[in-house]
Amino acid sequence: MRYTTIAPRFVEAIPDRLEDGVLYISERYGTAIHKCCCGCGEEVVTPLTPVDWRLHRRGDTVSLSPSIGNWNYACRSHYWIRANRVLWAGAISEREIAMVKARDKAAIEAYVEATNHRKPESVQKPSWLTWVMQKIRRWFG
């Protein structure tokens, strides 16, 4: 049974057994997980990082971006989670999947490279705005 909605549930840690139609979100561990919305039962893990997925909250609703593409599962489902709704996307070709995987791999490699070359915060000179915000925090504590 394909799902058209998903209920967010904020948790400290991901439970051992997942319920259908629930998106478990652990902000502490930067992870969201749910059973595939096509109903196949596969567990879909979406790491919440600058190069994987981003969680957007608005009131009682959540959205994930980018889309969920379960290319490695038999179902090969593809959908978006927007404001607790599951919006189904069309199938994409093997060539398109390969392009998405290559783009994702390049983004991860670029992020790791940039992160590894940043100066430690203790060495970086704070920006003007950071300096002003630090002063304000000290004044108004």
Q: For residues 64 and 30, what is the distance between their CA atoms, to the nearest angstrom?
A: 13
Tens-place pLDDT, residues 70-97: 988 999 999 999 999 999 998 888 898 8
Task: Give the domain ranges of the chain.
Answer: 7-90
Confidence (pLDDT) at 92: 84
Residue 112 clears pLDDT 90, i.e. is over it: no
CB neighbour class for 82 (10 Å; exposed up to 12, middle 13-18, buried from 19): middle
Pull the structure tokens for residue 71.
Answer: 């290319």
The proportion of the chain whose per-residue pLDDT surpasses 70, expressed as a percent, equals: 83
The structure tokens 């950071």 sit at: 130
